[in-house]
Amino acid sequence: MFRDDKVDKSILKSIKTLRKCWFPSPEYEEFDLYEVPTFLYKKSFPDHKEIREDLLKSIQQTPVSPSKFHTLKRHDWDVPPNVPRAYDHIFSPRLRKLCQPFFSKLGIQEYRYWFNQYEPGVDECFIHCHQHATISGIYYIELEKKQDATIFVSPNARRGYQVPVKEGDVLLWDPMVPHLAPKTRGAKTIISFNLI
């Protein structure tokens, strides 16, 4: 992604040796883990103000599935992919437009998406990462309280980071970066997605 002639060569004078860290994820416990900085991309979702209300209404018409590792009651993560999503015709064309640089640069052909709707004071999504994806993302359709935004966690699970976001923003990141949704304090509806 970087051109060689644009890389700041002074970084080669300040290289630090990484220290092993730990993350409570049993499927990777046989590996040594090292923490390095990563990118988080932020952009506005196309036509957010115009589509917001229709999108929220369409989500209300979409079938939901039971929770497995969080406390959410309204999401369609486990609804089979062949079941139509009422919000697809609004969301999908704009997602393809927004993610075009990732599709073309990384040769991505597919994506999967699901909504999460949080009940204030009740719902949270525990620390996790997204396997089997190239890029992960989240679109904040409804975000009443900024502190309810996604928290990205360092692999040693001792420090969290939040990107300043508002309704209409989209974040994209490396899918193996651990993250969580805190117990919400206000209305929050998101669409999460994986570019595969």
Q: Which helix (H) or strand (E) holds 172?
A: strand 169-173
Whether pLDDT at 6 is above 70? no
For the entire predicted model, the pTM comes to 0.90
Rounded to whole angstroms, the Cα distance separating 171 from 177 reads: 13
Burial of 87 (0-12, 13-18, 19+ CB in 10 A): buried
Whether pLDDT at 118 is above 70? yes
Question: What share of residues in the chain are helix, strand, coil (percent, to 5)?
Answer: 25, 30, 50
Burial of 149 (0-12, 13-18, 19+ CB in 10 A): buried
CA distances 99 to 106, 136, 185, 194, Å, are 11, 11, 30, 11
pLDDT, tens digit, for every residue of 125-183?
998 899 899 999 999 999 999 999 999 998 776 789 999 999 999 999 999 999 999 99
pLDDT of residue 27: 78
Confidence band of 67 (pLDDT split at 50, 70, 90): confident
Rounded to whole angstroms, the Cα distance separating 114 from 141 reads: 13
